[in-house]
Amino acid sequence: MSDKRRSRRRQLNVSHQRNWLIGRHAVIEVLKANVWPLRRLYSTTDFLSEMQKIMPLRAENPLSRSVIEQVTPERLTQLCGSRHHQGVAAQMGPFPYLNLHDLTRLIDERNELQQPLPLVVVCDRIQDGHNLGAILRSCEAMAADAVIIGEDQQVEVTPQVARASAGAVNHVPVIRVELLRDAVDAMRAMGMQILAANEKSAVPVWSVDASHPTGLIIGSEARGIHDSLLMQCDQQIAIPVCGHVGSLNAAVAAGILLYELRRTRL
């Protein structure tokens, strides 16, 4: 990795440490999952009492006394910069991304358990946090094995993404790679067919043979899928539309495509 990229990664991690996850549902989900490291939890008295009923304080529990600070609602608003905190705000550490070695392990585990065929989603330069969160939510609902994102021109997993995902970010493995091309090559080596969502394609999604392990690439909201990735795909597919608008939001398209790919497999 270049020095410039390392410097950028450090800057992103420092920035990420200042991010706040607010709201009772979002914080409860991240605490229950115990996947995303928590640096500090700031809570009003009412919320802390509620949390103790849901998750007893134990040494192995992320909700330990050493990371909790009780504050007034006014102080909580000052800390997280929002009045919509519902009595709790969590200061999150860097998100624990997985790597391509983890993808191999996940696929092997899926095959051993004879669960539905492997299905992996690749996000190419998705820059809107709400879109990434919504994609993660659809992936969790359709039992996708993982979501792969790149390092360049791609929104990271942030508290905003976590809230948009309705907690799905805690349950769907997120793999971060320097080059998406390497991820696609690795998936092909695992015997996966690679599909690209392209509104200009003449191939409707329901005509695809879904009886194979599949990788689905969802492209940028503004520019679609990069040409270099399209060249690696086995097939480009589209969602035929009946209305006057010829394209769909990236997250909406991902949900429809995932459902159709899973529908013939379950």
pLDDT at 54: 60
Contacts of 210 (CB under 8 A, 6+ apart): 117, 260, 261, 262, 264, 265
Residue 174: give its domain's CATH number: 3.40.1280.10
Length of the chain: 266
pLDDT (tens digit, 9 = 90+) per residue, 184-201? Answer: 999 999 999 999 999 989
144 has which bridge partners?
none
Q: Is the dihedral of CA 129, 132, 134, 140 positive or negative?
A: negative
Q: pLDDT tens-digit profile of 150-184? A: 999 999 999 999 999 999 999 999 999 999 999 99
Q: 88 and 110: one domain? A: no
45 and 168 part of one domain: no
pTM of the model: 0.86
**What is the domain count for the chain?**
2
Measured distance CA(69)–CA(77) in Å, rounded? 14
> Has residue 29 got a pLDDT over 90?
no
> What is the overall mean pLDDT for the chain?
86
Domain end residue (candidates: 46, 65, 92): 92
**What domain range includes position 212?**
100-263
Domain CATH number, residue 39? 3.30.1330.30
3-state secondary structure 138-168: HHHHCCCCEEEEECCCCCCCCHHHHHHCCCH
**Mean pLDDT, residues 59-63 taken together:** 51
| Together in a domain, 45 and 165 | no
Q: How confident is the model at residue 63 (pLDDT cuts 50, 70, 90)?
A: low
Boundary (domain end) residue, out of 51, 76, 92: 92
Domain stops at, among 58, 92, 126:
92
153 and 176 fall within a common domain: yes
